[in-house]
């Protein structure tokens, strides 16, 4: 569902969204519809920046756009990179397990809402 602000800026419609909270960062994996009704993925990293003396935090954002013709190549490269890191570092501590032991910082950025979606299995596990 497009907001008036999105329509004004002629931004693609977000048809599905999943957020991943990771300490001072939040990753958004959005499926968007372009003007030709084609779907693509937009991955956004939102990082809270330290700004002493200011009341409200600021966020630094970086985006990657991923089109369907590149999905297989992207997944192959991502899987290879993850395998390399695991090979170099051994077992990697799961952030979710660590969160049970120590409280994590939470970003003050508001949650983005979309229509309720069924739980689906994805690259990073189950999500709505």
Q: Does residue 73 register a pLDDT over 70?
A: yes
Task: To the nearest 10°, report the CA torsion of 5, 11, 12, 17.
Answer: -60
How far is CA 22 from each of CA 36, 58, 94, rounded to the nearest angstrom?
34, 17, 11
Residue 30 or 118, more confident: 30
Q: Length of the chain in residues, anyone?
A: 128
Domains of the chain: 4-69+104-117 (3.10.450.700)
Q: Does residue 62 register a pLDDT over 80?
A: yes
H helices of the chain, in order, are 4-8, 71-89, 95-101
- What pTM did the predictor assign? 0.62
φ and ψ of 91, to 5 deg: -60, 135
- The mean of the pLDDT values for the chain is 77
Can you give the pLDDT at residue 51? 74
Q: Does residue 98 register a pLDDT over 60?
A: no
Tens-digit pLDDT profile for residues 100-111: 544 444 445 555
Distance CA 65, CA 46 (A): 15
**104, 120, 80, 126: which is closest to 26 by C-alpha?**
104
């Amino acid at each position: 569902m497009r907001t008036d602000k999105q329509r004004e800026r002629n931004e693609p419609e977000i048809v599905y969204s999943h957020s991943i909270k990771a300490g001072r960062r939040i990753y958004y994996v959005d499926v968007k519809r372009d003007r030709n009704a084609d779907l693509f993925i937009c991955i956004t990293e939102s990082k809270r920046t330290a700004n002493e003396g200011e009341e409200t935090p600021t966020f630094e954002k970086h985006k990657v756009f991923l089109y369907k013709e590149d999905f297989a190549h992207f997944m192959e490269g991502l899987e290879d990179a993850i395998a390399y890191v695991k090979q170099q570092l051994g077992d990697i501590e799961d952030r979710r397990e660590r969160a049970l032991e120590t409280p994590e910082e939470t970003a003050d950025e508001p949650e983005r809402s979309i229509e309720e979606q069924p739980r689906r299995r994805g690259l990073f596990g189950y999500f709505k």
